[in-house]
Homo-oligomer: A and B are copies of this chain.
Amino acid sequence: MKNYELVLHRVEADLAAGRLRIGGRLPGERTLAEQLGISRPSVREAVRVLEAMGVVRTATGSGPEAGAVIVAEPVSPLTAVLRLHLATNHLPMGDVVQTRLLLESWSAREAAARELGAGELKVAEELLDRMDDAGLSPEEFHLLDAEFHVALSGLAGNVLIAAVMTSLRSAIHGYVLAAVPNLPDWEATAVGLRSEHRAILAAVRGGEPEHAAELVTAHIRGFYQAAQLTPFGGTQRGAAEAEDDDRADDEVK
């Protein structure tokens, strides 16, 4: 058992038992080290892990905001894990896009099935309004687009799926942006995307689950096909080739 794990278990147990709650603070690193009979560096390693997991937020200084404060931020760790594993090429981008498709169509169906008030739809609505600005660059447009899709998936009321969706979008962002030049006519595409967004939102507002899900699916598929990205039919794998590709023994040594 490595020493820093003592801290992780301690914190998890305290959380589960209610001794630690959101907004609460961890004891100081020195205190924690003494309590657990380990050194401060070990404690620090654990705190770093907790920070990376989105469980604490550290800040220097004094006062209630300083120290290691318990938070609940599942999105950043998910995003980080996703990005790192995409970088290893053992996580095919096609799988990520496929997952996004699944989560989003489900979210749209679920959101449409709920009875949503105008207030809940307002955020998404405003995003669409901002996307009508013709002066937006593809990057700005796509950022708003991502926000809209994330907001939509949040309307289904499942915080886990919403968190995963947010991470997926972040991971995909650079990928899809790099494919914009593949589009035959960006302006025409943007017009199409705008109207599709409006239609999706209308279906959600109107309480048409199946229709909303279909629109979302077509919307996403359509864009990826137009940008000549990920084939959805096959299961193209980036991992397998990378593995065969192992010849180079050019390690730093």
Contacts and interface: CB of A to CB of B under 8 A. Distances in A.
Interface of A: 4, 12, 15-16, 21-25, 27, 41, 44-46, 48-50, 52-55, 70, 72, 74, 77-78, 80-81, 83-85, 87-92, 95-96, 98-99, 102-103, 106, 114, 157-161, 164, 235, 239, 242-243, 246, 251-252
A92 B163 CA distance: 13
A15 B52 contact: no
A92 B55 CA distance: 16
Interface centre among A54, A81, A98, by most chain B C-beta atoms within 10 angstroms, is A81
Given A12-B87, A91-B74, A161 B55 contact: no
Contacts of A72: 85, 88, 90-91
Among all A-B residue pairs, the 4 with the closest Cβ atoms: A15-B87, A72-B90, A45-B48, A157-B235
The binding surface of chain A is classed by DSSP as helix
B41 A95 contact: no
Nearest to A40: B41
The quantity of this chain's copies bound in the complex is 2
Contact of A95 (B24, B52, B78, B159): B159
B24 A83 contact: no
A90 B162 CA distance: 13
A90 B21 CA distance: 10
Contacts of A77: 77, 81
17 contacts: A12-B83, A15-B84, A21-B242, A55-B84, A70-B88, A74-B85, A74-B91, A77-B77, A90-B159, A95-B159, A99-B158, A99-B160, A99-B164, A102-B102, A102-B103, A157-B235, A159-B239
A48 B202 CA distance: 47
Given A4-B48, A21-B88, A25-B251, 10 more contacts: A12-B83, A21-B246, A22-B242, A41-B41, A48-B48, A49-B52, A70-B88, A72-B88, A77-B77, A102-B102
Contacts of A70: 88
A55 B106 contact: no
A67 to B, nearest CB: 11
A138 B50 CA distance: 33
B53 A84 contact: yes
Nearest to A250: B19
A53 B80 contact: yes
Contacts of A41: 41, 44
Nearest to A83: B12
